[in-house]
Amino acid sequence: MDTQEFSAKPSVVMRSTGSDADQSWPFDVIFRRAPIGLALLDGQHRLVAVNDLMVELAGGSSTEHIGRTMAEVAPSLWSVTADHIRRVLQTGEPILNERLSKGAPQDFTAPGNLLISYLPVHSGGEVIGVGCAIIDTARLGERSVGQEGGPSESTPENGSSEDAGVGGAGCKLSSPRAVALLGRASADLWAPIDVGAASRALARLLVPEFADFCVVHLLNEGGRVELIAAAHVVAGHKDLLEDLDTRYPAYGAATSSVTAPQGSGYASTLRTGEPEILTHISEAGAEDGGRIARLTALDASTVITVPLRVQRHVIGSIEIGRIGESKGYGSDDLLLAQEVAERAALAIDRARLFSAAQRERARAEEGSRLKDEFLALVSHELRTPLTAILGWTRVLRTTALPQDKENRALEIVERNAKTQAQLIEDLLDIARIASGKLQIETTAVDLPLVVEGAIEAIRGSAASKDISIDVAVEPSLGTVLGDPGRLQQVLWNLISNAVKFTFEGGRVQVMVLQAGDWIELTVRDTGQGIRPEILPHIFEHFRPSEGAGGRQISGLGLGLAISRHLVELHGGTVTAESDGEGQGATFLVRLPVSRSPRRTARAVIDDMASLDTEGAPAVRLTGVRVLVVDDSPDALDLLSATLEQAGAQVSSALTAAEALERVERDLPNVLISDIAMPGRDGYALIRQLRTLRPEQGGRTPAVALTAHARAQDRTRALLEGFDLHAPKPIDPAELVAVVARLSGRIP
């Protein structure tokens, strides 16, 4: 394969690690600038990615490496690594910290200073590549010394032996064992992609090589301290560390001992970001909030605490200690611990970022899955009433039915049409909520009357299942400031859900009480209840309810989500409780009491009656000329029949051009126009109409009757020149009332 062709295509290996062939992945900076040589090979030993240090060590440029095999790029290195790479590809097991004894490329330092780790790359249970981490420990040692301004000076306490081991007195950052520890830190901490795994790898790295015990604390997202990892040189003492950490959290007053700095312990390090050494613990006393007692219980002789810091932000701390009087730490050990902490902090932060990215991806995938299921459900729920409407309509057209069956068929058509209209209204409400456009019109409302209206709408459904609805209302309730229609929608959703999920012969209780400055409305049922795993998500969008045995209950599952938003718009809260399946459910709505004067019962009843559009229209349109414009002949027939039944003189047009001709010829009193029409739409029609002179019909009152029912659609219609905006479907009585008002029949 040509090198350019290979490098231009995304690699399966890079996709499996969350990256693309151009290495532009979330941890690109860490990958490229890591203090160790990193390379990623595919199953054919071709280089898929290399970082800056690997290129520097092997020579050439990254573009020369990508797509070529290691045998082509660095043949001498391949000769001593080939067996390990093949073994990892075959077994899927990592090989860590193999010392390179021969065959190092010329640009590399002495072979004895090289440590190589081989890590398998998995995808779908298959090993598809190998990641190589090459550590030049001599380079790391030079870097460490250079960062500290040169080798640390010896102290009388620490001695001056250049060969002191890691963790011993007088440890030098350039000593072989110290350099090896830093090299292993860079390699071992790179692999884990989980915060816990990275922290445990850190503890295993330090114990027993550098410490007899190690405790890693991290700050969680809420700023609380958590013990993430612990290790002890004595088997079984890890539990002791965790127990003592719980009993002595080290948040206490400072001891007066000069060997215990003020505010000492990991709490101080987390707060100030400063490292510390605590020595001569047995002589320090028992103060410091129990910290000394904790360390004494561990038989600790010396303790070092260093911060884990990322971009000047402290994210945690490492506490390491030696046991027994014969061992101790010095200032060089503190420097080495800080070097290890730097590498550990980067690894832990990387793991946190990776975990956060995984969580976000999981949430996005779950959201996408729920939306897909929701769209399928929308299709089903809209088709169900449509099937009944179309079916019975055909029966009525083709078959002469007895009067009672014909009435029954018409009832079914009407009921399913209302169901479909409610589904569409719920979808529009969700769209308004998502765009922040859902609004309420507040007035002082007598809540018990609104409750009674919601219950009356449900009584028929409850009676069909022999479900009793018991109502208990406190006699002297305060007034709620809110939107009567929207509050009734909330209550209807809660009570209808209670009826829907209650078995035949069950009971639903509705209680309205006042508790201080709040009115509490409770809806309790004896139905199937809510499973514990579903309860926290009960008010979320796109979560349709399930019946017993997981059976889908009809509906879009939007009612509770809409209800919660409406209650919150009223300044209230809504919660749900259930003891589990078969135990029923309780919904509690809390609304603030208004200090506005109470409305009379008669006023509320009159308002609710004025919203009732059942039955024949009471307003007559005798002599009113109405022009109806719609590209749908069926819609024209329905609107024309409704208005003619009210006494109006109706003319119709299928296009905007035809409508303009009829306006100039007939001079209608009211124009009703659809918006979405082929050619010139309703907006173009009204704009051209408003350019005509008054005597030509330029000031004809106009209604935009459209399925575009969002708030921005209403605003645009009014700005374009319409006098009113009415969403489809419109109730016949409401349509007559709109025409009567625009024509002057209703002042």
User: What is the Cα–Cα distance from 277 to 272, expressed in whole angstroms?
Assistant: 15
Domain range spanning residue 428? 400-435
For the purposes of burial, counting CB atoms within 10 Å of the CB of 33, is it exposed (0-12), middle (13-18) or buried (19 or more)?
A: exposed
Same domain, 100 and 203: no
Tell me: pLDDT of 143 over 50: no
Residue 242 included in any domain: yes
Q: Which residue has the tokens 């300044």?
A: 571
**Residue type at position 21:** A
Task: Give residues with Cβ within 8 angstroms of 246, minimum separation 6.
Answer: none
649 and 500 housed in the same domain: no
Are the beta carbons of 113 and 141 closer than 8 angstroms?
Answer: no
How many structural domains are present in the chain? 5
Give the C-alpha distances (Å, rounded to integers) separating 588 from 430, 471, 555. Answer: 22, 15, 22
DSSP annotation of 159 reads B
Q: Domain for residue 373, yes or no?
A: no
Check if the beta carbon of residue 73 is closer than 8 Å to that of residue 54. Answer: no
What is the number of other CB atoms lying within 10 angstroms of the CB of residue 600? Answer: 10
Residue 247: CB partners within 8 Å, gap ≥ 6? 290, 294
Rg (CA), the chain: 38
CA atoms of 501 and 526, how far apart (whole Å): 9
Residue 463 structure tokens: 């009676």
Q: Do residues 193 and 224 both lie within one domain?
A: yes
pLDDT band for position 448 (cuts 50, 70, 90): confident
Task: Mark whether 675 and 702 lie in a shared domain.
Answer: yes
By DSSP bridging, strand 585-594 and strand 573-577 are antiparallel
In this structure, of 248-262, 356-370, 413-427, the range with the lowest mean pLDDT score is 248-262
DSSP string, 34-84: -SSEEEEEETTSBEEEE-HHHHHHH-S-HHHHTTSBHHHH-HHHHHHHHHH
In a 3-state reduction of DSSP, which class is residue 507? strand
Are both 677 and 591 inside the same structural domain? no
Q: What's 25's domain CATH number?
A: 3.30.450.20
The pLDDT mean for the chain works out to 77
User: Of 364, 389, 414, which closes a domain?
Assistant: 364
Residues 594 and 674 in one domain: no
Evaluate if residue 22 carries a pLDDT over 50: no
- Give the Cα separation of 295 and 462 in Å (integer): 68
- Using the 8-state DSSP alphabet, how is residue 235 labeled? T
What is the spatial distance between Cα 615 and Cα 732, in angstroms, rounded to a whole number? 9
Q: Are residues 405 and 355 in the same domain?
A: no
Domain co-membership, 199 together with 331 = yes
Residue 388 lies in a domain: no
Paired residues of 470 in beta bridges = 509
Query: Backbone phi, then psi, for 327, in 5-degree steps?
Result: -120, 150
What is the spatial distance between Cα 40 and Cα 48, in angstroms, rounded to a whole number? 5
Q: What whole-number distance in Å separates Cα of residue 265 and Cα of residue 251?
A: 8
Tell me, yes or no, whether 632 lies in a domain.
yes
d(CA 116, CA 100): 7
Residue type, 562: I
**Would you give the DSSP letter of residue 365?**
H
Structure tokens at 669: 């009193």
pLDDT digits (tens, 9 = 90+) for 635-688: 888 889 889 988 999 999 999 999 999 999 999 999 999 988 888 889 999 999
d(CA 266, CA 316): 9
Task: State the amino acid at position 89 in one-letter form.
Answer: L
Question: Which pairs from 368-372 meet CB under 8 Å and 24+ separation?
Answer: 370/542, 370/543, 371/542
pLDDT tens digits, residue range 618-647?
678 988 999 999 988 878 888 898 899 889
Q: Please check whether residue 390 lies inside any domain of the structure.
A: no
- Tell me the C-alpha to C-alpha distance, in Å, between residue 41 and each of 48, 85, 330, 615: 5, 9, 43, 77
CB-CB contact of 674 with 635 (8 Å) = yes
Residues 455 and 584 placed together within one structural domain of the fold: yes
In a domain, 22, yes or no: yes
Other beta carbons within 10 angstroms of residue 731's beta carbon come to 14
Round to whole Å and give the CA distance between 632 and 706.
12
pLDDT recorded at residue 522: 94
Q: What pLDDT, in 10s, does the model give residues 578-588?
A: 988 888 999 99
Average pLDDT over residues 71-94: 87
- Domain boundary pick from 435, 457, 486: 435
Instruction: Indicate if 428 and 283 belong to the same structural domain.
Output: no
Q: Dihedral of the CA atoms 18, 22, 24, 27 (nearest 10)?
A: 60
Residue 616 reports pLDDT greater than 70? no
What CATH number is given to the structural domain containing 571?
3.30.565.10
Q: Which of 33-37, 190-194, 494-498 has the lowest mean pLDDT?
A: 190-194
Q: Which of 45-54, 199-208, 218-227 has the highest mean pLDDT?
A: 199-208
Task: Write out pLDDT tens, residues 204-213.
Answer: 889 988 899 9
What gap in Å lies between CA 138 and CA 109, rounded to an integer? 8
- 376 in any annotated domain: no
**What is the value of pTM for the model shown?**
0.43
- Give yes or no for residue 216 having a pLDDT over 90: yes
Task: Report pLDDT for 438.
Answer: 73
On whether both 455 and 589 belong to a single domain, the answer is: yes
247, part of any domain: yes
> Can you tell me the distance from the alpha carbon of 240 to that of 499, in angstroms, rounded to the nearest whole number?
56
Give the dihedral of Cα atoms 251, 255, 260, 265; nearest 10 deg: 0
Average pLDDT over residues 706-713: 69
The CATH number covering residue 230 comes to 3.30.450.40
What is the rounded average pLDDT of the residues 176-195? 77
The verdict on 128 and 222 lying in the same domain is no
CATH number at residue 715: 3.40.50.2300
Contact of 85 with 73, CB cutoff 8 Å: no
Per-residue pLDDT at 676 = 81
Q: What percent of the chain has pLDDT over 90?
A: 18
Does residue 699 contact residue 733 with C-beta atoms inside 8 Å? no
pLDDT of 521: 93
